[in-house]
Amino acid sequence: MAFPATRLRRTRQSDWVRRLTRETRPTVDDLVWSMIIHDGTEARIPITAMPGIDRLNIDEATKAAKRAQELGIPAIAIFPNIDPSKKDDEGSEALNPNGLIPEVIRAMKAAAPDVGIICDVALDPFTSHGHDGLIDGNGYVLNDETSKLLVAQAIVQAQAGADIVAPSDMMDGRVGAIRTGLEAAGHTNTLILSYAAKYVSAFYGPYREAVGSAALLKSDKKTYQMDFGNTQEAIREVAMDIEEGADMVMVKPGLPYLDIVQRVSRELHVPTLAFHVSGEYAAIQASAQRGWIEEERAIVEIIGAFKRAGASGVVTYNADKLAQLLS
């Protein structure tokens, strides 16, 4: 029997033809640089659970914003680590117009006006209990009461110059409430990136250390974040947020939920971001440090996986390194 006329290996034989026929091509335009900002004076504080990543003070964050602009990275997502003495049960520091996040927004926008600034809208970095909202006497996170605070938090961020507010709390109805609040406050052009399909995950651990909530959290978040077994529910969650006014949506975590990224992007036709979260980052770093994998090849391959699945962009702690590799 003669060999078939088609030999798929023909287009794999040389670098030039592999490049010419490549179906998915991630670029720097796909990257959002995730950063942890702290309110102290020390320039950089290493995060033990995330080798190679530091908490940055405002001056260092400003330098990073300039670096992002030089590298062509479209946007930065910022997350706070505040002095524990500023935390309370209500997360009231999140509403401080002169707090860490508004200050760093203003500094970054002044230094790098062409870089979009994305701000997390959630109370967990600010609460003394580590949950994403107000809790009742039984430890249950209150939905509507929390949403009111999230609206106020989003407006504070928008007033400071945030380009995108990104509610990550998973309260029902908060996207619509934030959209209404932004409109009423005159922030018509402020975008909303909803963490629309955010799952309870073991991969958030290093991040909770980074923002200082790990030791505070005495119970899980299963009453408001999604169960890992559900896909149809994710589509419903995303569709509701789009209807409420979300401009973009997020699937979090990223790699274990590529099927969700694909379904959301294909079925709902909305800009869909994926978050390459702290635990995924830490796993790659730990393996690379032991010589088990090649870090640079691995992180480029992962970005390619997100793009194949249909992600419009990827939030990653590796954005600066990836920008150089992809260029």
Task: Dump pLDDT digits (tens) for 239-295.
Answer: 999 999 999 999 999 999 999 999 999 999 999 999 999 999 999 999 999 999 999
Given this model, what pLDDT does residue 172 score?
A: 97
Phi then psi for 279, rounded to 5 degrees? -65, -35
Q: Is the pLDDT of residue 19 over 60?
A: yes
Active centre residues (catalytic): 198, 252
Q: Looking at this protein, which amino acid is placed at residue 183?
A: E
User: What are the angstrom distances between the C-alpha of 323 and each of 183, 228, 297, 309, 326?
Assistant: 35, 31, 13, 20, 5
- What mean pLDDT value characterizes the chain? 96
Task: Show the domains of the chain with their CATH numbers.
Answer: 24-326 (3.20.20.70)
Task: Dump pLDDT digits (tens) for 122-145.
Answer: 999 999 999 999 999 999 999 999
pLDDT grade for 218, boundaries at 50, 70 and 90 = confident
pLDDT grade for 4, boundaries at 50, 70 and 90 = confident
Task: Dump pLDDT digits (tens) for 152-194.
Answer: 999 999 999 999 999 999 999 999 999 999 999 999 999 999 9
Given this model, what pLDDT does residue 2 score?
A: 65
Task: Dump pLDDT digits (tens) for 32-47.
Answer: 999 999 999 999 999 9
pLDDT > 90 in the chain, percent:
96
Q: Is the pLDDT of residue 1 over 70?
A: no
pLDDT grade for 63, boundaries at 50, 70 and 90 = very high
> How many helices and strands, by DSSP H and E, does the chain display?
11, 10
Cα–Cα distance for residue pair 151/27, rounded to 1 Å: 34
Q: Looking at this protein, which amino acid is placed at residue 241?
A: D
Which residue spans within 99-224 are E strands per DSSP? 116-121, 164-167, 191-198
- Count Cα neighbours of 56 within 13 Å in the Cβ-side half-sphere: 20
pTM (two decimals)? 0.95
CB count in 10 Å sphere of residue 286: 13
